[in-house]
Structure formats: C-alpha cells, structure tokens
Amino acid sequence: MSALKSIVISAAGSGSRLSFGHTKALLKIAGKPIIIHHLEQLKKFDDVRIVVGYDAENVIKTVLEYRRNVTFVFNHRYQTTNTLHSLYLGTRFARRYVVSIDGDLLIKPRDLQKFLKEKDEAMGLIKTYSDEPVCVYTKKRGKDTIITEFTRKRLEYEWTGLLQVKSERIINTGTYVYHVVQNALPFKAAFVDCREVDTPDDYQRAVEWGLKVFKK
C-alpha cells in the first residue's frame, strides 16, 4: 500500500504558545523529538514530505541525521497561514492518497501502524479531551464506525488531525483542513491514542504520557 500513499508531516508552525524557541516538531518526548518518533514509524514509506517554515534549518538538520530520503517543502508564509496551507503545499504531485500527520501530534506507535494500513479515506479519532476540540458525529456502518459531520459542539469524540484522504481533495480553500474534508464525508473512523501539544500544560501531559507509551 505504500506505493499508493504520500506522507505529509506539517511542521512549519512556530508554536508561539509554548515559547520554547523552536517548532513543536522538535519537542522531546521520551528522549526523542516528536518528528523522529514519526519517522521511526514511516520506514516502509518512500514518499515522505515534511513541510517546514519556522526553525526550518534545525528541523532539516534533525531529520537528515535520522533519514535522508525525505522531501522538504517550504511554507514561506508560515507566519500568516496554518496547517491547511502547509498540507496543500505538501500534497502537490502526491500519490493517490495522502496521509497527513501534524508535527505536534504524538501517536501511539501501534495505533499509527494500524492507521497506515487503512485502504481508503479515514480519520483518527480520540475520546474528547482537548480544550478547543473539533468534534464529530458518527454512526455505525456494519463493523465500522464512520464520521458523518464535524462540529464545534463538545461531543464524545474529537478529530486528532490524523487523516488519510485522496490527494485531489486537498485544495487551498477554507480556513481549516476539516473545512476542506467536510464535503467528502463520510470517512471511516480509526480510534487512536495520541497527544497533541499546543500549550505548556499539553507538553507536560505529553511527556508523562510518552514515558508510559514509549517505555522500554
């Protein structure tokens, strides 16, 4: 399936709410930067694209010390754009499916591996825990749970940002990624254990979570 997929990791943002002086993809969890945790799970994929902007030099240096066969895509407008624009840039000339992974999202390895085996469009969900979630309406379809609609209303499950989508659906229209995906629903729901880092409190929780998930 890797021949049908391009991986896009969006790591262009500045992480201004953290004030650590570098992009969130370089935050260390369980002794490694988040982006290295991602790359460790992507060894079977030969089309990995990393969208960089803020602190690009350090991101590139860190990645190349681990893996050289990656493509770096520059979002020169990282100060005034968001993940949708980075994903759009990273999706150019992509394969049939794009797997979008946020640079500040740390995912339990077993769950990410399972998600990467999905054969059609899918989105990663988790029990709602964040302060400003993008939640979803779901329903059962046979053995699967499918996502039918996004909402800002607080519901049982929120979207993690993890996404597998047909590459032609990603257009630079709208404010957020879920605005672009909305009209393509329903998608299969894939339940994952993960932690997103937006604030210092998020980071502390992610560190504690990572010590359990990545313990040897």
**Contact by Cβ (8 Å): 205, 142:** no
Q: What is the structure's pLDDT at 171?
A: 94
143/201 Cα distance (integer angstroms): 37
User: How deeply is 143 buried, as exposed, middle or buried, from its count of CB atoms within 10 A (0-12, 13-18, 19+)?
Assistant: exposed
pLDDT digits (tens, 9 = 90+) for 10-19: 999 987 666 6
| Residue 46's pLDDT band (cuts 50, 70, 90) | very high
Which one is predicted more confidently, 34 or 19?
Answer: 34
pLDDT, residue 184, reads 96
DSSP helix, strand, coil percent of the chain (3-state; round to 5): 30, 30, 40
Q: What is the average per-residue pLDDT within 44-67?
A: 98
Question: For 163-202, how does the pLDDT look when each residue is reduced to its tens digit (9 = 90+)?
Answer: 999 999 999 888 899 999 999 999 999 999 999 998 888 8
Confidence at 22, pLDDT banded by 50, 70, 90: confident
Q: What does each C-alpha distance from 205 to 76, 106, 196 come to in angstroms?
A: 31, 12, 9
Q: What is the pLDDT of residue 157?
A: 98
pLDDT of residue 50: 99
Instruction: State residue 20's pLDDT score.
Output: 67
Question: Rounded CA gap, 149 and 135, in Å?
Answer: 9
pLDDT of residue 52: 98
d(C-alpha 15, C-alpha 197), whole Å:
9
CA distance 207 to 29: 5
Maximum Cα–Cα distance across the chain: 48
Q: What is the pLDDT of residue 51?
A: 99
Which domains does the chain possess? Answer: 2-213 (3.90.550.10)
Return the pLDDT at 67. 97
Burial of 13 from C-beta contacts in 10 A (0-12 / 13-18 / 19+): buried
Instruction: Identify residue 156 by its one-letter amino acid code.
Output: E
Instruction: Dump pLDDT digits (tens) for 129-175.
Output: 988 899 999 999 999 999 999 999 999 999 999 999 999 999 988 88
Give the H/E segment covering residue 127: strand 122-127
Average pLDDT over residues 81-99: 97
